[in-house]
Structure 1
C-alpha cells in the first residue's frame, strides 16, 4: 500500500470520528407520534397527568381497557396488575382466601410450593419496579433546575412541589412492598443513570432506613391530612406507611 493510500485511509477514519462528535443526532424526532420529555412538559397540565399515571399504576395494567397496550410486555396483562398481584401474595399464601380457578401456577400459593420461576411472582416483581421507574423519572423531571429551565413559577410550581413529594411517597410505598415480599432487591433512584445497567442490591436493613428517611423528609412537603384531592396521598398516608 503506498503512502497516499495510507494517508487517505487515516483521513477518512478521522473524518468519521470527527463527524460523530458534531451532535447531528441530537435532534427532535420528526415522527409526530414520538415526543420527548421536553415536548411533554411544555404543557403545564402534563405534570398532573403524569402524576395520575403513577397513581393509576396501582390499578390499571396498560393503556387500553382490560387488555391491549400493556405497561409490561412478556407477561399476562392480568397477572401484572399491581393490587391484584399484591393481594395474591398476601392472601393466597394464608387460609383467608381460596382461588376457584386454575390459572397456571396460581394454586402454588395455596400449597406453599412456589418457586423462582412462578409467573405470578415474576409479574408482581416487574410491576413493582415498573412503578418505581415511573416515580424516578417524574422526580428527575421536577427538580428545581428543571423547573427553572422551563420558567415554571407561581401556583403551578407550588403544585408541582406537592406532586413531587407524592411521587416520592408512591416510590417509598413500592419499595416497602418490595422489601416485604422480596427482601434484598435492586435499588435505583432518580440519581442513577437512565438506560441498561445492573443496579446494586440493597439489604433489608438499608432499604428500611431509606424508606423511613424518605417519609420523614417528605412529611412536611405533603398536603395536610384530609385536605388533598380524593385518592391522592397526604400527610396521613405518610404516617400510615
Structure 2
C-alpha cells in the first residue's frame, strides 16, 4: 500500500463507562475507495467524529496527510483537506443549490469578504460551477434546496463538502433512505468522484459497499474485526457470523462471482 493518507493508532473514545472506539489502529492508503462497515453501535460514526475533530479522543493519535490532527480543531482539519458529510443531511434549505455551494467555496478563503475583487468572485463562480457539474447538480442550480428530493439533497451535501477542495472525503451513509433509483445515481456519482479524491464511506447497504469499495474495514464493539478486499471480507467467517449473516452468502457471492 502507498504511504497512508490517514493513519490511526490506538484510538479510544470513552463516554463515561461506555467505550465507543476501543484501541483502534488503521491505515488508509490513497487511491482507493475504503468502506467501514459494522452493526449498529459498532463505533463507525464516532470514529468519523474523532477523525474530523467533531469529538476529542480519550487517547490515541490520528495523522492526516502526514500531520498529527488529534487535537486539532475541525475547521483546521478541513483546511488540511479532510471533508465529511453527515448521516442526517444538513443544507441551507431556504437557499438555492448554487448558493449553498457558493458559500462553501467562499469558506475556503481565510476571511469571508463581500467586497472581494471581481477576479476573486469569478474564481468562486468558476469553482461553484465545477462542483455543480461534478455532482450532476447544474440542472438544479436555481432550485431552492428545500424543494429537492432526498437523493439530490445527499448529492448537494457531497457538493458542499467537495467545494472545499478536499484530499479525502468521509461519507456517512450516503445512500441511507434513498429509493433504488436515487441510490444508483449517488453510487455512480461517488464512483466518478473517487477518481479525483480519496473516499471513505460508512454504509449499511452491502450491495453498495461491495460494488463501490476497493478495501473494507469491519468494526465490531468499537474495534477492528477484519480488513481486506471485498472478496476477502465476503469469505471471512468471522464477518459472516458477526455481521453479514450466513444467509447473506449466496446473495453477496452471486454479485461478485
TM-score (norm 2): 0.26
TM-score (norm 1): 0.28
The structure carrying a bigger helix percent of its residues is 1
| Structure of higher RCO (CA pairs closer than 8 Å, 6+ residues apart) | 2
